[in-house]
Amino acid sequence: MSQDVKPTRSELQKLKQRIKLANSGYNLLKKKRDGLIMDFFEVLKQAKTLRQDMTEEYIGALKKMNIARVLETDQKIKSMAMAVKQKPMVALQTKNIMGVVVPKIESQHKAKHFLERGYGTIDSSAAIDEAAEGYEKVVEKIIKAAEVETALKKLLVEIEKTKRRVNALEFSVIPKLEDIKAFITMRLEEMERESTFRMKRIKQK
């Protein structure tokens, strides 16, 4: 701001109000950032647990499938798999975490009774039924993991965006406004001293 500029008390008051609003916004954004980070680590914990569960379910299902392949032929297993008509259905909804819209996947998929799978019970066996049940559980975990990991990515994006806004206010916007306030305050004091000096000169004359 140029030394020739003659600011007013009204401008200083407006600037102080801007600084107050900037500080208020800064504090709110800091709280939001901290809340998002806490939620992120909570969801991350869920994601790690789900990945572990999913891996364990998959290993278990794979073992059951290998047993079924030993007891039955691959051709028979493929034929029975082709007979299954019903596919997993999901309904995509949303939920809100600290202002961040994340997906909520409602699945109609669940482990079925062997009579509900669509293949004939005569050609089936306990080994095939156990393998089918094992993979149904894997699908359940995959659907839940998809929801949690998508939420994780969205939260991370929002955290980064909020951090940038917090840093901009802390290191750029607020310091610049404070510098302008200091300059205006100094100029007003100078102008008041000059005015007082001129009044004294006038009285002396």
- Domains located in the chain, CATH noted: 9-200 (1.10.287.3240)
In whole angstroms, what is the distance from residue 130 CA to residue 25 CA? Answer: 57
CA dihedral sign of residues 162, 163, 164, 169: positive
Residue 99, classed as helix, strand or coil, is coil
Nearest to 26 by CA among 164, 135, 138, 149: 164
In whole angstroms, what is the distance from residue 59 CA to residue 119 CA? Answer: 24
Helix (H) or strand (E) holding 102: strand 100-107
Contact 98, 36 (CB under 8 A): yes
**Total number of residues shown for the chain:** 205
pLDDT one digit per residue (tens) for the chain, 205 residues: 555 668 899 999 999 999 999 999 999 999 999 999 999 999 999 999 999 999 999 999 999 999 999 988 888 888 777 766 666 677 788 888 888 888 888 776 555 555 455 555 556 678 888 888 898 889 889 989 999 999 999 999 999 999 999 999 999 999 999 999 999 999 999 988 888 888 877 777 6
Q: What is the pTM of this model?
A: 0.77
Cα-Cα end-to-end distance for the chain: 35
